[in-house]
Structure formats: C-alpha cells, structure tokens
Amino acid sequence: MLALVLTLLIHTNADSLRIFRAPDVVITSTRNPVTPQDSPSKVMDLDVKQLSSLGFTNLGSILSYGDGLYVKDYGPSQLSTIGIRGTGAEETLFMMDGVRLNSVQNGVLDLFLIPISEIGNVEISEGGSSSLYGADAMGGVVNLNTASSESPHVGVSFGAGSYGYQRSRASVNEKMGRASITLTAERTRASNDFKFNFSDGLNSFPMTRDGADFVRDNEFAQIVIPAKESSTSIVVSNMTANRGTPGPVTGPFYVGTEREYDGDLFSVINHEQKLGDFLLSASGGFTYGYLRYVQPAVVPGGFFIDDFYKMLSFQPSLQLNYSSRDFKGTAGIDGEQDHGTSSEMQEPKNRTRAGAFASGVINFKGPFSSMVHIFPSARIDWYSDFGATFNPKFGMNIRPVQSIPVNLRASVGSSFRAPTFNELYYAGAGNPSIKPERSVNYDAGLVFSLHEPVDIQADADYYAINIRDGIVWLPSSGNIWRPVNYQRTLSQGIELSAQVNYRDFLALRGTYSFGQAVNLSDPNSPTYDKQLIYLPQEQGSLVAAVSPWILTFSAAMRYISFRYVTVQNDQFLPGFTTADLSAGARIHLSHFDLRPLISVKNVFNENYQVIPQYPMPLRTFYFDLGIQFNQ
C-alpha cells in the first residue's frame, strides 16, 4: 500500500512511536553515497520489512504504489512484472545486493518469485542507468537489499486469509563472536479459487478462478562478520514453487490446466575493506534459475507442452570508492558468465560479459550561496555475442539558495538492453545477428524538503526516453515469427509526489503521474504515434497512516486509468480504483513482542483486470500474527 518511506515501531512501554522518513543517503543513483535531495535523478527507498508489517503480502503490491512504476499483474501467484516510466519489464534492471536478477532467458524478473521476508529495503533509481550498471537499465534500477537482524532473537509468524491463503515462517538470529548468523524458512500457499465476474460484452457471469493454486517454499541464510576496518557478508537464498498458471479467461466455462514449476538459487559473498580515504569492495554473485512449464492436452490427442529452462550465472565484481569533502569517486570492473540450457534451444548456449565503469560526485559552492553537485559517469561493456557498447551520463543538482530547501536536478545519458537467449537462440526462430536496444534518457525536476515544524517532501519531475532498435517479434517466412530491431518508441511524462509526516503520529502521501509511451517505428503505419498497449496514461495514489498509542491504522487508494489493448488504440480496458485498509499493533512484553495484523484488500469490491482476461480478486481478508522472542 505505502509508497512512502514509512516505518512504524510501537511499544507499550515509555518508548515513543517512530515514523522513519527519507533515508540519510542513497547509493543506487550514483554508486556514491548522496542524500535523496542532492541526487541527479529521482530515487526512492522503501522499507520492506516494516511495510510488510502494515499489510503488504508481496513485492508487487509494494512496488505498485511507487512513483512512476507500473506493475503488470496477471493475478495472485501469477506472473507479475514491473516497468518504469513507460518502459518494458526487460528494460528495468533488478538487482539483489548488487547482483543482477533479470533472466538471461527472457530478460524479466517475476516478482512472485521474490519472497519479501528476505528483503530489508528496496532502493529505486528512476531514469537510464547503463552508465553505472550496464544492460537493461533503460527505465531505471530496482536494487533489493537483503534483510539483516540487529539483535539475537527467535521468531515465528503465521498468516491466514481468503481463498486458502496460509503462511508460516520461522527465523533465528544468533551471535557467534563478532559474527551474526540469520536463518529463516517460510512456506506460503493458497488455492486462489476467488470469485469474479466475467463479461462477454453483453452479459456478466459470476465465475470462480480455477487452477491458480500455489505452494512456495523459501530458505534464507546470512552471515555477517564485521571488523574494525572491514566487513564480510555471505547470503544464500533458495526458493521453489509449484503453481497453476491458468491462461486468459475466454468464456464462462473456461478451466485452466497449465502448471509451472520454479526453482531459484541465489548466493553472494561480499567483502568491504577500508583503506584510508578509500573503500575497496569485492563480491562474487551466483544465480541459478529453473523453470518448467506444462500444458496438458485439452482433448485426447491434442497439443501438449512440456518445456524447461535452466539458466546459470556467475557475476564477480571489484569496486574502489574514494571520498572527500569536495569529491567522491568510484571506479570498478565486473563480469558475468551465463550458461543456458532449454528444450526451446537446439543446444546449450554461453555468454560472457566484461564491464568497466567510473563515476564521480563533484561538490562546490556557486554564486549567491548556491551549492552545486556535478555527476559524471561512463561505462563500457563487452559481450561475446554482439560486441561492445559505451554509455556515458551527465547529471547536475543545484540548490540555488542555501536557506531555501529547494533543489533543481537534471541528467542526460544513454542506455541499452542486451538481447535475451530467447531472442538470439530460440529454436527455428531466434536471430543471432540481432543488436541491443538503445536509448537516450532525459529528466529534470525539483525537490522541496522541510523538516521543521512539519516534515514535508515534494517532488516534481519531467522525463523523456527515446528508444531505438527496439526488439519486437514480427512475421517472417511462412508462419515463423522472428525478433528484429524494428521498434522505435518515445516515452515522456511528468511525476508529482508529496509526503507529510506530523509528530510521529500521522503520515500522508499522494502521487500522480501522466505519461505517454508511443510507437514511432513507421510513419506510414496505422500504429504510428499510438500509445503502447497495456500502459496507462494516468496513475495516482493517496495513502494515510495514523499511529495512536500501540495501534497502527493505514489506508491506501490507487487509481489506474484505461489501457489500450490493441496497437491501433481502438479498444481499451477500463480504468479502476482500489482501496485497502489495515490495522495492527506491536505489543512489547518483558521477553517477547506480539505483532497482530488484519488487512482488507479491495475494500469496495472493485471488479477489475490489470491485463485483459486475467481477473483479479474481489474483496479479500488477511490476518497475520508474529511472535518474536528476544534474547
């Protein structure tokens, strides 16, 4: 629900309630620590651990309230992807602890596969970022930082909800000398046989969603070893899922029989060493993704599908940071070795990538007591399957008058998206000569921040993303469709947001964005200058949270405008508005904490679809109880 940077800690003793506001520094937007007000582009930081305690059950619901973010949701436990500022899911880079998560197979990350219990916070940097992070950061970067425990404890939690939803989790954190070890295990499941209304354009039929059940297990281990001048951390995460993936509802008697089996293994070891004014960071990341998709034959002797994909990636990196009062700089190298095996490729495929980057933050005082921050950055990447690409970026942030809390910011740079294994090597249809997508990104905005007597932060931003050589699948010889560098698009719009916190008691946040992402590929085509399908032109949200005594009440409303469902823009899916409510508490006793929570989603029973023919649930209820034993 909440896209505000909001954290609630409630005690029954004399400790006061706290609502944490914006973070002191952010990293993702520059690779150097800067304040959000001084960043060259818009950046958000969401505290996932605390937001989940306010009623969030998945990563998609958290990100759906972010400024400029649009989540394409195919229903509970189904595929859920995100795009930033009108770009596609393949054009948004996801990382966990700095390790790339985008699938080399299809370029996207399914948000359902990321359990939020393992995530501490999400840092989102909007705008092109290939000058810092390489491929796929055309719309922006979403960096998931794994959760870490501050004190030894043992915890258990249980959840239940509508349509067979069940969740159970156990965690333990122990100190062994200077080292901190955290272990968690969680199982989530649901039948997802929810009610909805199907319409054929003339009549409406009450239906039940069939075949959307799931079971997901995840295990997580983290070791943190701090020292006086260094720190080492090791993270291992394993996730397996068995879920029904019914397709679009095409009639009142539709029954889905498709299933998907997922397995994701993630591991990263990171070491940081302070060397005077320098900080040396070395890491090695490992990801393994398995997907099996099964579609039984609808009739005897009919078409049957049983496909699998296995993708393995190893990602080492080395980075050196320097910091002084007037200058901060970063330089580094990283690499990636990918290996893919699939029933949809004729043979196993490999990809090697190497990259080098440098970025800086130059601070100086300008005329009339102004403060100026300059952000140059550049990166070169080399890929074994299509060669090298160079991407620079330049940003600026100015505070014209030191006594007035208004900062102006702007940036311009280039970005790219690497072709996926499906686009390069899909059996009988892949195109090994395909080139990367490329973009030029512009953004400009201002941020107003005030901390006394009321905490206020407001942002206003304009952006434009010009994409060329966009990869689309077009008909070739016979009935074969092949990917080609054909599409050109322009995405531009405005984003407005404001947040108010009053005396650690009341928090309000409102957002609005208007954006157009149009097809400029062929001036002679009837699709020229038409809005891309499934993307809303308008989005808005309004959020309120109030925290009297040991209680917390929150409410959120989200608006999504109509979306075109044809490339000619002659048919559309109606807009919708949803509202959620939650109430919880944190009760601190002598040796343990109790954290009950109840949530109601889609309070007004809105019958809606994010993607056509993929229904969403009507009103649903959730209850959760967490118990933490403190040592």
How far is 505 from 2, CA to CA, in rounded Å?
16
What pLDDT sits at residue 10? 32
Residue 403's Cβ-count burial label (10 Å; 0-12, 13-18, 19+) is exposed
CA atoms lying within 13 Å on the CB side of residue 541: 28
Listed in sequence order, the residues at least 6 apart from 198 whose beta carbon sits closer than 8 Å to its beta carbon are 204, 205, 206, 207, 249, 251, 252, 615
Residue 298 predicted with pLDDT over 90: no
The residue ranking higher by pLDDT, 588 or 337, is 337
What is the pLDDT, as a whole number, of residue 5? Answer: 31
Does 530 reside within a domain?
Answer: yes
Alpha-carbon gap, residue 551 to 275, rounded angstroms = 46
Report the pLDDT value the prediction gives residue 301, as an integer from 0 to 100.
Answer: 67
| Mean pLDDT computed over 66-87 | 91
**54-74 average pLDDT score:** 87
Sign of CA dihedral 612, 519, 80, 257: positive
Is the pLDDT confidence value at 353 over 90?
yes
Answer yes or no: is 24 within a domain. Answer: yes
In this prediction, residue 24 carries a pLDDT of 66
Q: Which two tokens stand for residue 422?
A: 């499906």
| Rounded average pLDDT over 525-548 | 92
Tens digits of residue pLDDT in 381-424: 999 999 999 999 999 999 999 889 999 999 999 999 999 999 99
pLDDT score at 369: 80
Q: Give tens-digit pLDDT for 23-35.
A: 667 777 788 888 8
| Average pLDDT of the residues in 429-440 | 94
pLDDT digit string, tens, across residues 188-227: 999 999 988 887 777 788 889 989 999 999 999 999 999 8
Nearest alpha-carbon partner for 393 in 427, 348, 360, 420: 360
Task: Tell the residue number behind the tokens 């808005």, with chain if given.
Answer: 540
Q: Looking at residues 266-278, what average pLDDT do you find?
A: 94
Amino acid at 172: V
Compute the mean pLDDT over every residue in the chain, rounded to the nearest whole number: 90
Query: Rounded to whole angstroms, how far apart are CA atoms 420 and 426?
Result: 10
Average the pLDDT over 471-476 and give the result.
89
Higher pLDDT, 49 or 206: 206
Q: For residues 203 and 622, what is the distance between their CA atoms, to the nearest angstrom?
A: 32
Q: Which residues, at least 6 apart from 309, have a Cβ–Cβ distance to it below 8 Å?
A: 105, 289, 290, 291, 292, 340, 341, 342, 343, 344
With a pLDDT cut of 70, the percent of the chain lying above it is 95
Give residue-wise pLDDT tens across range 240-253: 999 999 999 988 88
- Number of domains into which the chain is organized: 1
Q: In whole angstroms, what is the distance from residue 185 CA to residue 214 CA?
A: 17
Dist. CA 272–CA 539, nearest whole Å: 41
Average pLDDT of span 168-173: 94
CA 59 centroid distance within chain: 7
Q: Left (φ > 0), alpha (ψ -120 to 50) or beta: where does 325 sit?
A: alpha
433 burial type by CB count under 10 A (0-12 exposed, 13-18 middle, 19+ buried): exposed
Q: CA torsion 278→279→280→286, rounded to 10°?
A: -160
Residue 340 · residue 105 · CB < 8 Å: yes
* Per-residue model confidence (pLDDT) at position 630: 81
Q: What is the CATH number of the domain that holds 519?
A: 2.40.170.20
Residue 1 lies in a domain: no
Q: d(Cα 267, Cα 314) in Å, to the nearest integer?
A: 10
Higher pLDDT: 48 or 238? It is: 238
Residue 2 placed within a domain: no
The DSSP code for 575 is: P
Residue 631 is predicted with a pLDDT of 73
CA pair distance 418, 389, nearest whole angstrom? 10
- Residue 534, domain extent: 7-630
Rounded CA Rg of the chain: 24
- Whose CA is closest to 30, among 442, 359, 277, 323? 359
Q: ∠ CA 46-450-124 to the nearest 5 degrees?
A: 20
DSSP reduced 3-state for 74: coil
Mind spelling out the 3-state secondary structure of 174-193? EEECCEEEEEEEEEEEECCC
d(CA 243, CA 259): 6
Q: What secondary structure does DSSP assign to 140-186, as a single string? A: EEEEEEE---SS-EEEEEEEEEGGGEEEEEEEEEEEETTEEEEEEEE
Count how many Cα atoms sit within 13 Å of the Cα of residue 574 in the half-sphere of its side chain: 8
Q: For residue 137, report the phi and psi dihedrals to the nearest 5 degrees.
A: -95, 50
**Predicted pLDDT of residue 15:** 32
Distance CA 55, CA 75 (A): 18
Residues contacting residue 452 through CB under 8 Å, at least 6 positions apart: none
With a cut of 90, say whether residue 441 has pLDDT above it: yes
Residue 3: predicted pLDDT: 35
Give residue 571's region: left, alpha or beta (phi > 0; psi -120 to 50). beta
Residues 85 and 493 sit within 8 Å (Cβ to Cβ): yes
User: Three-state DSSP class for 366?
Assistant: coil
Report pLDDT for 25: 72
- Residue pair 592/580 in contact by the 8 Å Cβ criterion: no
pLDDT-based confidence at residue 4 (cuts at 50, 70, 90): very low
359 to each of 112, 129, 376, 411, 600, how far by Cα in Å?
33, 11, 6, 14, 45
Q: Is the Cβ–Cβ distance between 306 and 294 less than 8 Å? A: yes
Of the chain, the percentage scoring pLDDT greater than 90 comes to 69
